[in-house]
Amino acid sequence: MSYVTSRDGTRIFYKDWGSGRPVVFSHGWPLDADAWDAQMLFLLHNGYRVIAHDRRGHGRSDQPAGGHDMNTFADDLSTLIEALDLTSAALVGHSTGGGEVARYVGRHGTRRIGRIVLIGAVPPLMLKTAANPEGLPIDVFDGIRAGVAADRPQFFQDLAKAFHGYNRPGATPSHGVIDSFCLLGMRGGIRPEYDCIEAFSETDFNDDLRKFNVPTLFIHGDDDQIVPFVASASAASKRVRNSTLKVYAGGSHGICTTQADRVNADLLAFLED
């Protein structure tokens, strides 16, 4: 397996397939790089080099006691991009991974980046504050912490249903998707996943978004129960010059899985525009 080593000695697992223009994927919480299987295979078959890493503490990467914050996540991403000497890369981030991408731009700029795609992403800020009244109250995130601490397997089983919209009337749940979600979640460490809740919910990405200076695509479902559209892509896209917003009517947080064909087509069209 392939690894890069971060500044603090943490080994970050990554996959690197194909040739051509590179596309680098950052996954959501509590998953790992395998959550991007549908997108990576599709773009690989369309001539792209596809790269995805497991965030520290998740999947096959090391599980250090610390560093589970957006600054460190962004620096780990930078370590990967520098180690592979990528140029004109497209960064694609889902959910927490969208925050990681935004903070990467804030800290490291776009010297090596040609395009950005944020899907169901957490920026500009998930937490409800006086300045961010559309955000979610802290009780929501305290409930996630409580669920992870008390019974992580059952919590992930329940979360997978809302994540993919399977709790909506008329939905047809895929037990395979639910099982896969739980498997990827359980491959990560409980300490890193617990700490990451604060990182994805309380980090303010407004300043990072203002530093975006390459073509950017936002994709978001308007029935996203995990990262509500109004407080995320609707607001974030207004802060990014030269950005495009695509809203999937009835789309869940898990559209990369439940509407993979549509996401793939929109990704390819944006990359080749």
Give the active site residue among 68, 76, 253, 266.
253
* Helix or strand (DSSP H, E) at 148: helix 138-163
**Per DSSP, what are the bridge partners of residue 116?**
91, 216
- List b or e across 187-216, with b for residues whose CB sees 16 or more CB atoms inside 10 angstroms: bbbeebbbbbbebbbbbbbbebbeebebbb
Residue 175 annotated to the active site: no
Give the active site residue among 26, 61, 78, 95.
95
Alpha-carbon span 190 to 63, nearest angstrom: 9
In single-letter form, the type of residue at position 78 comes to S
Given a contact cutoff of 8 angstroms between Cβ atoms, the answer to whether 217 and 246 are in contact is yes
Alpha-carbon span 269 to 273, nearest angstrom: 6
Owner of token pair 């409930």: 143
Give the active site residue among 32, 62, 224, 266.
224
Residue 243 annotated to the active site: no
- Give every CB contact of residue 261 below 8 A, 6+ residues apart in sequence: none
Residue 19 annotated to the active site: no
Q: 113-119 and 216-221 as β-strands: parallel, antiparallel, unpaired?
A: parallel
Which tokens hold the place of 236?
A: 């974030």
**Phi, psi for residue 224 in degrees, rounded to 5:** -70, 115
Please give the positions annotated as active site.
95, 224, 253
